[in-house]
Chains A and B, each alone.
Chain A
Amino acid sequence: MENKIRILIADDHQLVLEGFLNSLKEVGDFDVVTTTNCDAAFDLIKTHINSNPFQLLFTDLSFDNITEESDLDGGEELIKAIRNNEFDIKIGVITGHTKTNRIYNVISNLNPNSYLLKSKSSATEIGFAVQKMLANEYYYTHEIHQKILRRNVVQIQMDDVAIQILKELPNHSKISNLEGVIKKNNGTAIKLRSIETKLANLRTDLNANNNTDLILKVKELGIID
């Protein structure tokens, strides 16, 4: 038992917990503990952090059983508490929330290692997510991924400088040629370094391997014509 990966699952629905347990059993041999309560989840992690700590936590975001006495009134609070205590534990979110706002907030503020959707997840996906998490990588389920991408697209679209760079990029053989071409709203030229940073961010945001890929994706997504 000592060498088994310890996984804690927190969800207010017993049915989900059971389903999750079954799925995990399908993909590997894990030491799984479940709880329906955020406070309890936090206590479990805390009490075991020095002896036999949990490597992974899967938690829902909203808990129906929150009462006035609860210290942590949801998954976000739980994750925040863990982050604040700097417990060494990989966190995955498994939830029904698909609203971009919630997703964005959770991902950008809490930076979970995975984001899964109850309605879409299969045992295989959960197994894949666990592997990624243990390797300190990230895994967002496809739908979440799409949402994040779409959000990036929207954001890029609003960014005049980004649009300029994306439009000008195919016209120049070298990135350094862009210097002096790209300008801010107030007319001042943007430095090459900033342009490169921006391009790098754009590639990340749109999952592009290189600039050519980026331009293709941008066109595909309709960010530029």
Chain B
Amino acid sequence: MKLEKDSLIISYNFFKMMSNHKFNIKTNYLFYGQIKLLFLFFLVSFSVFSQEKDFDNRIDSLTFLLNQYKKTKQPHLPQKAFLLAEKIKGDSLLKRTYSSFAVKSFLNKDLANLSLSERKLHEFYIRTRDSSALAQQYYCKGLFFKVKLKQDSAFYYYNKSKNISTQLKDSLEVTKRLLSMAAIQYDERDYLGSEISIIEGLRFVEPLKEVFYTGFLYERLGNALNRSGRQKEARKKFLIFFELQKRSSLEKLELQKARGYANFADTKIKYQKARLYNHLADTYTSEGNYTRALEYYKKSLSTDSIMLNSIQRYEVALGGIAFNHLMLGNIKLAIKEYSEVLKSRQNRKYERGLVVTHSGLADAYTANNETKKAIFHSNIGLEKAKKMQYNFYILENLLLLSKLEKGEKGRLLLQEHFILSDSLFKRERSLKNQFANVQYEAEKKDRENASLKQENSKRELELVTEKQHKIIGWLIAGISILFIGFGGSLVLSRRKKMLFEAQLKQVEVRETERQQIAKSLHDEVAGDIRMLHLKLSKTNQLEDAKSLDIINENVRNLSHQISSESFNEVSFKDQIINLISEYFEVSFRIKVEEIDTIEWKTINNSIKRTLFLTIREIIQNAKKHAEASVLILSFKETKKSIVLIISDNGKGFEVNAKKNGIGLKNLKERIEEISGVFTVESEIEKGTKITIEISKNGK
């Protein structure tokens, strides 16, 4: 009897939840439509305005169809809506349409359309592989079994749906499913299971800062706590629930105000307060504090126009008062109040409520010793309870009837009661186990997944370390290769340097040889010639002596040419100046540029000597052959080499012609001896440009 209220609450909750779902869908449609409209407006030109309008119309007609279906329960409406939605071709719109009609079908207990929605969602999932559609599909299946009163199957599919949403990290969907699951568990008196589901739901919904479903979770939690004898805690939860409901209503109000709707939400808050009072009263009833319970129920009942606007709450409050009056021995009042509730519920054809009220009345009449009336009401209660498998009241009424009926009939009823009670007890237990099992399996799977994941990550880690090892290996290999390469190049460069030094030494040796030849030319040949000259002049052969003089001069010049200078005492710059002075004339001007940019002291003597001799040769050539009037020596030092560019404005020559003679060839050879590069560019009548590049250290 005291369960009357919570059963009412349960059904109310469900209704409320669903209608809210609908509301969400509706607003989503509006929002979606607006976005789409805006989008289209920007995208398409004015010429397709009609199309745009068409789209808008379709959305509108979908909303219209949904409302129509809710009101009229015409079974062809979902099909129509689906066809329309499929024409619009918006996947998320389509999914929403299926889901929202599925929920409506459930509320209308329209099994055909519920399975149609489920099938549509399945097809949608197959086509798009959108897992959220699969979650919705399972949810539909759960709803389907719910209608068929197969609580365990419904629970199973809710759980499946929940698990997918968990994977999708869609916390709100998870929360909704857990709320439904907790409701089933509550109905099946698995209060602990219900509590667990709710706590899980709260964990999911918490980060979302959502108030609406959170509120329902707290209400359900309050109910579960109340049933399991923790009334004080339950009251706390109910207060939280009320606060959340208030906030939710206020939020809605804000939204409505913003949209310019009439404000009807604020009036709702007072009915929610009535609901809170009902809940609180219920907890006091459970505690046996009937007077306190009565106070709260009366508070709830005194809410103005509650009968008109919130009939369920009115019924609950009045039923509660009746029950408490009964408990306090005020039987007449109880009967009167129960009768009033009965009338109201009969008007509404609220079967579940009727079961409760009839059973209550039966109790009241029993207490009043009006056995006939008691049997009458008890029988109706039993019949209705059996129709909807409202087991609690089946048992209650069977027990009551067995007491009221005399003799064999009473005994049979008592037997029926015991058998049912026994089977129900077993079923309850098995269901509890089943719920636990279903969740356990899921958790096990989760754990397996987790361990698999762990294993995977472990393997990945291994792979990564392996990869790292490999990389390290390659790095080491690379470094060693580099090292070897570096060493090789070092050896090579050293070898090169050694070679270069050897070349320089060779040059020096050659130079000494040259000097020796020059010396012997000067000393011996010239000496001999001089002696001859002396003799000839003594013998008055002056003609011969003259020609001998010329020979002598030539030999001397030759020896001078061959011999080179000492580079140790005089700076290279002075040497060059001296050299240039030798050939300088107003009609043959030699300019030296940037000679000071080179740190000549650091340059190897062989290089300097070679440069000196080369310059001398080139100057001679320019003066003798090129008939140049200006010759420019331009020095440049780079990090590794000395560059000398010698250009004249002479008549030039054919660089590739073979007759260029040994002069140029010798120059080239001389430079190449010390690993230098010697290039000649020449243009007839324009001049010649010779570029010499000598590396400073042989690299």
Contact = CB atoms under 8 A, between A and B. Distances in A.
Interface of A: 13, 15, 62, 64, 96, 99-101, 104-105, 108-109, 147, 150-151, 153-155, 157-158, 221-222
Interface stretch (B391-399, B540-548, B580-588, B675-683): B580-588
A99 B563 CA distance: 12
A109 B592 CA distance: 24
| Most chain B CB inside 10 Å of its own CB: which residue of A15, A109, A151 | A151
Interface in B546-586: 556, 560, 565, 569-570, 574-575, 577-582, 584, 586
Tell me whether chain B's interface is mostly helix, strand or loop, or mixed.
helix
Contact of A105 (B534, B560, B569, B595): B569
Contacts of B522: 62, 64
Contacts of A153: 581, 584
B591 interface: yes
Contacts of B577: 104, 151, 154-155, 158
Contacts of B570: 101, 104-105, 109
16 contacts: A99-B560, A100-B578, A100-B582, A104-B577, A104-B578, A105-B569, A108-B574, A150-B581, A150-B584, A153-B581, A154-B581, A154-B584, A155-B577, A157-B589, A158-B577, A221-B586
A163 B586 CA distance: 16
A157 B591 contact: yes
Interface in B126-178: none
B561 to A, nearest CB: 10
Contact of B578 (A101, A157, A222): A101
B590 interface: yes
Contacts of B578: 99-101, 104-105, 151
Contacts of B455: none
B523 interface: yes
B229 interface: no
B329 interface: no
A105 B578 CA distance: 9
B75 interface: no
A15 B569 CA distance: 32
B582 A99 contact: yes
Contacts of A150: 581, 584
B663 interface: no
A64 B527 contact: yes
A101 B565 contact: yes
A154 B560 contact: no
A221 B584 CA distance: 11
Nearest to B574: A104
Contacts of A222: 586, 589
Contacts of A96: 556
Contacts of B584: 150, 153-154
Contacts of B579: 100-101
4 tightest CB-CB pairs across the interface, nearest first?
A: A151-B581, A101-B578, A222-B586, A100-B578
Given A15-B534, A104-B574, A158 B523 contact: no
A126 to B, nearest CB: 22
Interface in B295-322: none
A65 to B, nearest CB: 9
Interface string B591-604: 11001000000000
A150 B579 CA distance: 11
